[in-house]
Amino acid sequence: MVNPGTVKVCAGVLLFALIIPATASLIGLLSDALPIGEPPHFQLMKEFSVVLILPVILGEGIDLMTPILRWSIVIAIFTLLLAALSLVSPLLFSVVKGIAIESDNAIIRSRAELGLGIGSFYYKTVSVLVFPIAYHLRNLLNGPRKLMNGFMVLMFIAAVLCSDSRAAAIAVFLVIVFFVIQKVKATVGVGPELLALLLMIVLPAGYFAAFFHPNELSNAAKLGHVHCYAVLFNDHPTYLLWGQGADTEFYTEGFEVKTTLTELTYIDMIRWFGIPVAALILGAVLYPVIVLARRKDDFSYLAVPYVAYLWEAASNPLLICSFGALVVSAMWGRSLLPNSKRPDTVPGTLCIE
């Protein structure tokens, strides 16, 4: 007898890993907006194909979130070492920076709003530091080994600040607010909880407001994207229904060139797929949050940083890529694993310290 759950999972994987990207790629091929002089790369199909790992995750009971939590310490240490290198040996750091930029593994900006401004090396992986921060912060506030967990939280936060990623910094801030409010509510009640929430939001509000100044270089580029998107959808309203197609390009004032991908991920999805399919994809991306909300422990250290990660993806190319698809697949696997295969039912399997 075929398991209905297995059939649903396979149908979902078939839809999101093959049917949707293949259809969008076909629409793109039929359009006149593919990069001129280049053969089709089918990049979107390659990135969505990562979802094919989901049946293996569920069949073998593999929890991908645990290695993400465990090995993210390498990202933090690497970022901190680069920060130290930029202070100790600027010349050697410039060589490392040049290699990283040439291999497209870093984003280096001239600003230094958060920390040293060394830039985001392996910038797509720095975004996942919200997960270990949530894990160790939860343990710091509610469990033993407070010294170790406190050290880990500070180390990961320092790495985020050194990377100078504003989206990651705000995501970490949101995670901290959630856990502190939960702790205050559990300890002293609802009234102080509201006061703590007000203080935590109002006090840094002026600092974070500077991140959104329209004249700032990155913000000006994003505003240029928005303006050109408004013009594009006004000239081609049918794109809102079925999209322009995968791997297509359009001119944006933000970059002052034609591009296939801006920093506005969710608007990019509308251009590629149209509103109905983009909404379907976003619903699938958010589904693990709904499932994990029913599991108190999972919700606290997985769903909350996952929502923060999706916040980061709104203004950074973190979701529609192979790494983003891997994070979403890991969250789907975590939410759909049956109780008999869930790692948290086996003592010690979630110990990452």
pLDDT, tens digit (0-9, with 9 covering 90-100), for 276-332: 999 999 999 999 998 888 776 556 678 899 999 998 888 888 888 888 899 999 999
Beta carbons of 181 and 193 less than 8 angstroms apart? yes
Higher pLDDT, 349 or 167: 167
Beta carbons of 95 and 108 less than 8 angstroms apart? no
Residue found by looking up tokens 């969505």 in the block: 48
Name the CA radius of gyration of the chain, rounded. 21
287 closest CA partner among 67, 125, 24, 54:
54
Q: How far apart are alpha carbons 156 and 139 in whole angstroms?
A: 14
- Min mean pLDDT across 37-41, 48-52, 67-71, 199-203 is at 199-203
The alpha-helical segments, DSSP class H, found in the chain are 4-14, 20-30, 43-48, 54-60, 65-88, 90-102, 123-126, 130-142, 146-163, 166-188, 190-202, 205-209, 217-235, 239-242, 265-273, 275-292, 296-298, 304-314, 322-336
pLDDT (tens digit per residue) in 236-251 = 999 999 999 998 988 9
Q: How high is the pLDDT of residue 279?
A: 95
pLDDT (tens digit per residue) in 162-208 = 877 788 888 898 898 888 888 777 777 666 666 666 666 665 555 55
Q: How high is the pLDDT of residue 198?
A: 65
Neighbours of 202 (CB within 10 A): 9
- Residue 134 — pLDDT band, cuts 50, 70, 90? very high
Q: Answer yes or no: is pLDDT of 346 > 50.
A: no
Higher pLDDT, 190 or 161: 161
Q: How far apart are alpha carbons 62 and 334 in whole angstroms?
A: 8
Q: Answer yes or no: is pLDDT of 110 > 50.
A: no
Q: How far apart are alpha carbons 309 and 292 in whole angstroms?
A: 15
Mean pLDDT of 142-151: 88
